[in-house]
Homo-oligomer: A and B are copies of this chain.
């Protein structure tokens, strides 16, 4: 009798908090149950990196033994660099079945998707035609509790592998922080309309020169609406927003054409 061998899916893992963060170790643990895992992640925190890439400097890499039995590399670049390096160098010629990024320590809902290194890695994968998912937890703590996210991550990743993700789309998945009540379920929804209202904390360095810390709070422009990711997370649901990378505002094209310039 022949033994039937199933090919395990090839899963690339990255993040923006850096290879030593707790969130990525949870993602590695879950993904090892579903596929062959390769990790290429930043060697230091890259929060707020947006879709930065390293074009004017060199990229440095080092093999890492941080995850037992997992091929892993740490990279001096950004999350988007890590995906590019994985696809075009470490895994050149191999088909990557899924890119997962995270789990981010901190929420990446609403406008934060634009600033998020976690999501930039997922969107970079989508640009390169690889199904991808960014995972984030609404808890900034370095030792945040990720236990309640595991079964959802596995479920969503398996669905993505079996059903596929709409072409050139990355999923932005956000989890509520661990609460006394279990998560109520999953909401597929749209990006909330909101922004960060900055306040700059102005200080003087020991030489009397000014410097700033960026701070501030999130402003929800549609607190009554229930169809968006912020509402879902605040109400103890997992939010999934499918994201594309066509920034064109199609309706505005018509208006601008009226300018007749």
> Which residues 92-117 in A have Cβ within 8 Å of B in the complex?
111, 113-115
The answer to whether A127 touches B111, judged by C-beta atoms less than 8 angstroms apart, is yes
Say yes or no for A55: interface residue by CB 8 A criterion: yes
The answer to whether B166 touches A249, judged by C-beta atoms less than 8 angstroms apart, is yes
The answer to whether A211 touches B58, judged by C-beta atoms less than 8 angstroms apart, is yes
In the docked arrangement, what's the CA distance between A178 and B2, Å? 67
Chain A residues touching B, majority SS = mixed
The answer to whether B166 touches A247, judged by C-beta atoms less than 8 angstroms apart, is no
Question: In the complex, which of the residues B56, B85, B191 contacts A248, with contact meaning CB atoms closer than 8 Å?
Answer: B191
Question: In the complex, which of the residues B202, B211, B247 contacts A244, with contact meaning CB atoms closer than 8 Å?
Answer: B247
Question: In the complex, which of the residues B54, B123, B209, B261 contacts A155, with contact meaning CB atoms closer than 8 Å?
Answer: B261
> Which residues 144-168 in A have Cβ within 8 Å of B in the complex?
155-156, 159, 163, 165-166
A43-58: contact bitstring with B at CB < 8 Å (1 yes, 0 no)?
0010111111111101
The answer to whether A59 touches B212, judged by C-beta atoms less than 8 angstroms apart, is yes
Say yes or no for A141: interface residue by CB 8 A criterion: no
Q: Select the residue from A165, A191, A252, A255 with max chain B CB neighbours within 10 A.
A: A252
Q: Name the 8 nearest CB pairs between A and B, nearest first.
A: A50-B51, A242-B252, A50-B50, A244-B249, A48-B55, A166-B252, A243-B247, A190-B248
A8-48: contact bitstring with B at CB < 8 Å (1 yes, 0 no)?
00000000000000000000000000000000000001011
